[in-house]
Amino acid sequence: MNFDSNIAIYIQIMEDLKRKIINGKYKSNDKVESVRDLAIAYGVNPNTVQRSLSELEREGLLYSERGSGRFITKDETILSTCKEDYANQIIDTFINEMQNLHMDKETVLHHITRRFEEHE
C-alpha cells in the first residue's frame, strides 16, 4: 500500500480495512489477521496497526475475544451504516469535483445515467 504523507498512516490503514469490510473481503464475524501479520503486510510498525484496530473496535466494526483475536462485528446495522457513510464520502467528493468543473446538476445526472447504461 502506498501511503499519503499528508494523512496519518493508522488512519489510512483503518480506511483500507473499512473498504475491505464494505467490499466483502471480510464478512461479518470473520477473524482479522493478527497485528503482526497486518504490520508485515502493510510494512509498518505493529503499534501503528494496533492503533488502527483499536480505533475500528472503538467504532464498533471490530470486537475482541480474549485469546482468540479480533473479529468483524456481527451487527448488521453498524456494517450498513459504515457502507452508507463510505458511499456518501465518495459521492461528496464527486459532487465537489463536478462543481469545480462548473457542471450543473442536470448535466451531471445526464452523464451518470449515460455511464450507468454503458456499464449494464
**Pair 16, 37 in one domain:** yes
Question: Domain containing 69 — which CATH number?
Answer: 1.10.10.10
**Pair 86, 103 in one domain:** yes
**Pair 22, 49 in one domain:** yes
63 within 8 A of 71, measured Cβ to Cβ: yes
State whether the Cα torsion 87-88-89-93 is positive or negative.
positive
Model confidence at 62, pLDDT cuts 50, 70, 90, reads: very high
Mean pLDDT, residues 68-90 taken together? 95
**Pair 70, 14 in one domain:** yes
Length of the chain as a residue count: 120
Query: What mean pLDDT is reported for the chain?
Result: 96
Q: Count CB neighbours of 103 within 10 A.
A: 15
Is 52 part of any domain?
Answer: yes
What is the pTM assigned to this prediction? Answer: 0.82
Give per-residue pLDDT as tens, 16-53. Answer: 999 999 999 999 999 999 999 999 999 999 999 999 99
pLDDT > 70 fraction of the chain, expressed in percent and rounded: 100
Q: Which domain holds residue 93?
A: 77-119
Whether residue 1 is predicted with pLDDT greater than 90 in this model: the reply is: no
Element (H or E) spanning 72, and its range? strand 69-72
